[in-house]
Amino acid sequence: MVTYIVRRLITAAFILLGASFLVYLLTALSGDPLEELRTSSAPNRQALMDARINLLDLDTPAPLRYFKWLGGAAQCLVPLGNACNLGKNIAGQPITEALGFALVQTLTLVTGATILAILIGISLGIVTALRQYSALDYGVTFMAFLFFSLPIFWVAVLLKEFGAIGFNDFLRNPEIPPAVALGIGAVLGLIGAVVVGGEVKRRLIVGGSVFAAVSLVLFYFSLTQWFRNPGLGPVLIAIMGAGIAFGITILVSGLKNRKALQSSLIVVGIGVIAYFAVQPLLSDATGLMIFLLAIATILVGVAVGYFMGGYDRGQSMRAAGLTAFLVGALVVVDRFMQAWPSYFNNSRVRGRPIATIGAGTPNIQGDFWIMSTDTLTHLVLPTIALILVSLASYTRFTRSSMLEIMNMDYIRTARAKGLSERSVIMGHAFRNALIPIATIVAFDIGALIGGAVITETVFSVRGMGFLFIDGLLHTDPNPVMGVFLCVAITAMVFNLIADLAYSALDPRVRIKA
């Protein structure tokens, strides 16, 4: 095992050397860094050109410059040594500094989108696999193909137009015309009927109730101007919490395990009481506090599950812990909604909350909630765009993996010994279907940092992609190399993790040491 990892790392180092040499040469070849100065009519043209030649060391041929660069980059390997030197960009800023800033920007952009895309994609894949050759399956398959084929820059412009400008106009006077409310209800009802499957009667009941519920809620929102002053309140949190408790229990243990259901419901009760208790605390929240509260919430849930016990204590603990986490998330969402009106009326936002570009409103002031809301409103559109284009591969992959597993003999065995459909799917099929998915997820996380170039450009986020493209357009190899190093190293590390994870998850695969 250790020999294997060491060997992989040594190979990776050589590959990295070769690839970085290639990228450096290609970037240096790709244009003339002095071009804009050659055509300029500035009186001190020659001085500017000399300064740039000096800065970029253009008198040295590119292959030699690479080794100079390598000498600086090699210092990054010295542990604890603060001598990391990746050169400077064309404006004279050290690359290490620029990289740090860009990395934060890119990670904020892609993290949420990737997690959501993985969650939604995998659930869609499982549902379509379970309902193979149904209307839902064909619909999702077609959508997957469509999303595969969507150019993200095109989607992004549409989102800006309808998601941001359209929604902001709507917020000026948040009244939903009855016809629109009924229309949205009808569409969602139709989707509900297709998703639920089964008998025609069951589909009609589900579709009808979804239609009625959605339309009523939209009427209510329109009447109370909910979109201007949103909020959940303890009652809604209790109702939604109960729904979450049932849903989680169905998934984790099945409703037959009464103790698990009871512990989840108790957790919801605690959550509603805690809602009142934590309000003053949340008013001066920080990111760290939210994080600690989240951990505390999960621990409380797990503890409740532990003391409720039941014939399978683990199931109760898992169900209650998950429920606690989600109810806690509801409370936080409610707090965000409380901050919404003051964000909305902020002098910097001026009633147009959903932003089309950038990573934050310039010069905005406010407490934790205002600042977080600001980040979130800037993340909404890029996140949706990224989810749309990356959803399809997860859905297709999970579907095929799940279908393959569902045909296995041990699934038939599990059914034959009388297990409930839930434990066959969640316990036997899904867990094994996750093995290949885990590796593809690891690959994708490795490719994350370099994968959002276009999204960053469209939404004017100054992340890694911006750094790369900007460096390339100025024929400035240093930022390009910096981005390349980050991207390539994460990709290699996660490729290794993917291989190790595969052998850890699937005992049939053994690593040859």
Partner 1 sequence: MSQPTQEDELLAQQALAEAAATHGGGEVTSGLSQGQIVRKRFFGHTGALIGLAVFAVIFLLAFTSVGAFGIPGWWKYTHVDVSPLVNDGAPTSSLWPFAWGEHPFGQDRIGRDLFAMTMRGAQQSITVMLLIGGIAGAIGAIVGGLAGYFRGWVEAVLMRLTDVIIIIPLLLLAAVVGQIANRRDEGSWLNGFAANNGVVILGIFLGFVSWVGLARLVRGEFLTLREREFVDAARISGASNARIIFKHILPNAVGVLIVNVTLTMSAAILLETALSYLGLGVKAPDTSLGLLVAQNQEAFATRPWLFWFPGLFIILICLSINFIGDGLRDAFDPRQKKFRAKSAVETAKHSSTTTAPVADTPKGS
Largest distance between two CA atoms of the chain: 88
Q: Which is nearer to partner 1, 25 or 371 (CB)?
A: 25
Q: Which is nearer to partner 1, 156 or 270 (CB)?
A: 156
Determine the Cα–Cα distance for residues 358 and 449; give it in Å rounded to an integer: 18
Q: Which is nearer to partner 1, 101 or 154 (CB)?
A: 154
The footprint of partner 1 (CB under 8 A) covers 11, 14-16, 18-19, 22-23, 26-27, 29-32, 123, 126-127, 130, 132-133, 145-146, 148-154, 157, 161, 250-251, 254-255, 400, 403-404, 407-409, 415, 418, 420-422, 425-426, 447, 450-451, 453-454, 457, 468-469, 472-473, 480, 483-484, 487-488, 491-492
Q: Which is nearer to partner 1, 31 or 208 (CB)?
A: 31
* Residue 484: alpha-carbon gap to chain centroid: 22
User: Rounded to the nearest whole angstrom, what is the least distance from the CB of residue 183 to partner 1 in the complex?
Assistant: 22
140's tokens: 């999702």
Q: Which is nearer to partner 1, 30 or 225 (CB)?
A: 30
User: Rounded to the nearest whole angstrom, what is the least distance from the CB of residue 157 to partner 1 in the complex?
Assistant: 5
User: Rounded to the nearest whole angstrom, what is the least distance from the CB of residue 512 to partner 1 in the complex?
Assistant: 16
User: Rounded to the nearest whole angstrom, what is the least distance from the CB of residue 285 to partner 1 in the complex?
Assistant: 35
Determine the Cα–Cα distance for residues 491 and 487; give it in Å rounded to an integer: 6
User: Rounded to the nearest whole angstrom, what is the least distance from the CB of residue 411 to partner 1 in the complex?
Assistant: 10
Return the exposure string of 208-234: e unless at least 16 CB atoms fall within 10 Å of the residue's CB, then b. eebbeebbeebeebbeeebbbebebee
Q: Which is nearer to partner 1, 146 or 296 (CB)?
A: 146
HSE-CB at 318 with a 13 A cutoff on CA atoms is 13
User: Rounded to the nearest whole angstrom, what is the least distance from the CB of residue 95 to partner 1 in the complex?
Assistant: 16
Q: Is 225 left (phi over 0), alpha (psi -120 to 50) or beta?
A: left
Q: Which is nearer to partner 1, 29 or 239 (CB)?
A: 29
Specify the amino acid at residue 332: V
User: Rounded to the nearest whole angstrom, what is the least distance from the CB of residue 235 to partner 1 in the complex?
Assistant: 26
Look at the block and give the residue holding tokens 């050397």: 17
239's tokens: 């109702």
Q: What is the DSSP string of 63-86?
A: HHHHHHHHHHHHGGGSTT------
Determine the Cα–Cα distance for residues 482 and 60; give it in Å rounded to an integer: 20
7's tokens: 């060997």
User: Rounded to the nearest whole angstrom, what is the least distance from the CB of residue 168 to partner 1 in the complex?
Assistant: 13
Q: Which is nearer to partner 1, 193 or 339 (CB)?
A: 193
Q: Which is nearer to partner 1, 425 or 498 (CB)?
A: 425
32's tokens: 């003339």
Determine the Cα–Cα distance for residues 403 and 126; give it in Å rounded to an integer: 9
What is the enclosing helix (H) or strand (E) of 391? helix 368-406
Q: Which is nearer to partner 1, 271 or 382 (CB)?
A: 382
Determine the Cα–Cα distance for residues 339 and 358; give it in Å rounded to an integer: 21
115's tokens: 């997690």
**Residue 481, SS3?**
helix
User: Rounded to the nearest whole angstrom, what is the least distance from the CB of residue 393 to partner 1 in the complex?
Assistant: 11
User: Rounded to the nearest whole angstrom, what is the least distance from the CB of residue 382 to partner 1 in the complex?
Assistant: 15
Q: Which is nearer to partner 1, 371 or 404 (CB)?
A: 404
User: Rounded to the nearest whole angstrom, what is the least distance from the CB of residue 441 to partner 1 in the complex?
Assistant: 17
Determine the Cα–Cα distance for residues 469 and 461; give it in Å rounded to an integer: 12
Q: Which long-range contacts (CB under 8 A, 24 or more apart) does 55-58 make?
A: 55/88, 55/90, 55/92, 56/90, 56/476, 58/33, 58/34
Q: Which stretches within 131-232 are classed as H helix?
A: 135-148, 152-158, 167-172, 178-196, 200-224
Q: How many CB atoms lie within 10 A of CB 51?
A: 13
